[in-house]
Amino acid sequence: MTSRDAPTHAESKAIGTHVPVMLQEMLATLGPRDGAMYLDGTFGGGGYTRAILERAQCRVWAIDRDETAIARGAVLAAQYPDRLQLLHGRFGDMLTLLTEAGVQALDGIVLDIGVSSFQIDDPARGFSFMTDGPLDMRMGRHGTDGRADNELTAATLVNTLPEHELANILFQLGEERASRRVARAIVIARAEAPIETTGRLASIIRAVLPPDKSGHHPATRSFQALRLRVNDELGEIERGLAQAALLLNPGGRVVVISFHSLEDRIVKRFMTEVSGRAPSPSRHDPRGLARANAGSSRFRLVTPKALRPGAAEIATNPRCRSARLRAIERVGIAA
Ligand SMILES: C[S@@+](CC[C@H](N)C(=O)[O-])C[C@H]1O[C@@H](n2cnc3c(N)ncnc32)[C@H](O)[C@@H]1O
């Protein structure tokens, strides 16, 4: 299947795939060229990786923390034996993963933050309140080469955290204004019996929150908060961006597609700062990279304003409606 005849959203639901979001915008921004080396830090269903490999005679390293995504990717890797390498792990560890694989620098990096349709649509993964399943929400469930990925599940959080900590997570990561009410309801319910399923958690939340005007399920924000916390997703973005900037060759670009305002805020701030646009020091830059570069601006902001999906894409794939694409380019002359 080529990127041009990728399945529509409806088809993909039927055959169980992930429709790549803003694929053409990603390709146009990354600009794959022959002989270059790229990283797809969020392999997922491999839609981006495949499109990059088809666009140019380049090499791609692809990372995913979900072992099932890496296992599925074996088919694609077999089609590109000399050009595609899959790595199981977190993009927040990309520097270590790539260095261990002998890669020092890259000509472009793409991160498509969040969960894939494979993950959301599988009730056993526990990401969705639409279907009943175990309250898990881990993107990666097994260790990577001896490195434990994630032992923490959403069930552990809701059944063990003190009420005020639970409320803080729901407020900060889910922007749930009724966080205290939801946390209280969870604590009362778990005293009767541990909350083990997505269905039970969703009904506990629905019982104390009226449906909101947007038509979203009242559990949407709480589920988002728990997922972000279980996978430390915001921390991963901070670590991934700092390392991506260190790995980039001159002329190379980091392209990030995010889906939530909390994620996009981190991406926007980092990119603005490393490109010397913002005077304030970053809270999201553990290595101090942004400050080090703010004066010399080793990076150029490619997208002063985030790109958004077009109306046609939103119509065929409603899940993409909140996507934002941002990119920076390492300044200098490409080899
Ligand atoms: C939105 S999907 C990517 C879809 C992909 N671009 C495609 O076209 O099929 C996100 C994927 O990134 C993975 N992921 C999310 N956070 C990650 C992280 N910190 N490190 C590695 N993989 C991550 C998820 O497991 C999921 O498979």
Residue 76: band (very low, low, confident or very high) from pLDDT cuts 50, 70, 90: very high
Residue 63 phi, psi dihedral angles, 5° rounding: -115, 140
Q: Judge whether 110 and 30 are in contact, CB under 8 Å.
A: yes
Find the mean pLDDT for residues 269-288: 71
Q: Which residues contact 173 (CB under 8 A, 6 or more apart)?
A: 224, 225, 226, 228, 229, 234, 262
Q: Which residues contact 47 (CB under 8 A, 6 or more apart)?
A: 3, 6, 18, 19, 20, 23
Find the mean pLDDT for residues 218-227: 96
Q: Provide the pLDDT for residue 151.
A: 78
Residue 192: band (very low, low, confident or very high) from pLDDT cuts 50, 70, 90: very high
Q: Provide the pLDDT for residue 22.
A: 97
Residue 290: band (very low, low, confident or very high) from pLDDT cuts 50, 70, 90: very low
Q: Provide the pLDDT for residue 12.
A: 44
Amino acid at 270: F
Tell me the pLDDT tens digit for each residue of 5-59. Answer: 344 444 444 446 788 999 999 999 999 999 999 999 999 999 999 999 999 999 9
Q: Which atom of ligand 1 is nearest to the CA of 236?
A: 19
Ranking 14-18, 155-159, 266-270, 326-330 by mean pLDDT, the lowest is: 14-18
Q: Flag whether pLDDT at 77 surpasses 80.
A: yes
Q: Flag whether pLDDT at 146 surpasses 90.
A: no
Q: Is the CB of 50 within 6 Å of ligand 1?
A: no
Taking CA atoms only, the protein residue closest to ligand 1 atom 7 is 47
List own/partner pairs for 214-221 with CB under 8 A and 24 or more apart: 217/129, 217/130, 219/129, 220/129, 221/170, 221/174, 221/175, 221/176
Ranking 10-19, 57-66, 72-81, 93-102 by mean pLDDT, the lowest is: 10-19
Tell me the pLDDT tens digit for each residue of 304-331. Answer: 999 999 999 999 988 899 999 999 999 9
Q: Judge whether 253 and 29 are in contact, CB under 8 Å.
A: yes
d(CA 173, CA 224): 7
Q: How far is the CA of 62 from the centre of ligand 1 (A)?
A: 10
Q: Provide the pLDDT for residue 279.
A: 52
Q: Judge whether 84 and 62 are in contact, CB under 8 Å.
A: yes
d(CA 205, CA 326): 34
Residue 295: band (very low, low, confident or very high) from pLDDT cuts 50, 70, 90: very low
Find the mean pLDDT for residues 266-295: 68
Which of 286, 263, 283, 267 has the alpha carbon at shortest distance from 275?
267
d(CA 40, CA 55): 14
Which residues are bridge partners to 147 per DSSP? 144
Q: Provide the pLDDT for residue 333.
A: 66
Q: Flag whether pLDDT at 334 surpasses 70.
A: no
What region does 135 belong to: left with phi over 0, alpha with psi -120 to 50, or beta?
beta
Percent of the chain past pLDDT 70, that is, above it, reads: 86
Torsion 36-69-42-30 (CA) sign: positive
Q: What is the DSSP letter of 307?
A: B
- Indicate the SS3 state at residue 278: coil
Q: Average pLDDT over the chain, rounded to whole? A: 89
Taking CA atoms only, the protein residue closest to ligand 1 atom 13 is 42
The secondary structure of 245-257 as a DSSP string is: HHHEEEEEEEEEE
Q: Which atom of ligand 1 is nearest to the CA of 49?
A: 8
Report the alpha-carbon angle 70-72-75, nearest 5: 110
The secondary structure of 197-209 as a DSSP string is: BHHHHHHHHHHHS
d(CA 62, CA 68): 14
Q: What is the DSSP letter of 124?
A: G
Q: Flag whether pLDDT at 193 surpasses 90.
A: yes
Q: Judge whether 41 and 94 are in contact, CB under 8 Å.
A: yes
Find the mean pLDDT for residues 267-274: 96
Q: How far is the CA of 73 from the centre of ligand 1 (A)?
A: 12
Q: Provide the pLDDT for residue 5.
A: 38
Taking CA atoms only, the protein residue closest to ligand 1 atom 22 is 64
Q: Is the CB of 144 within 6 Å of ligand 1?
A: no
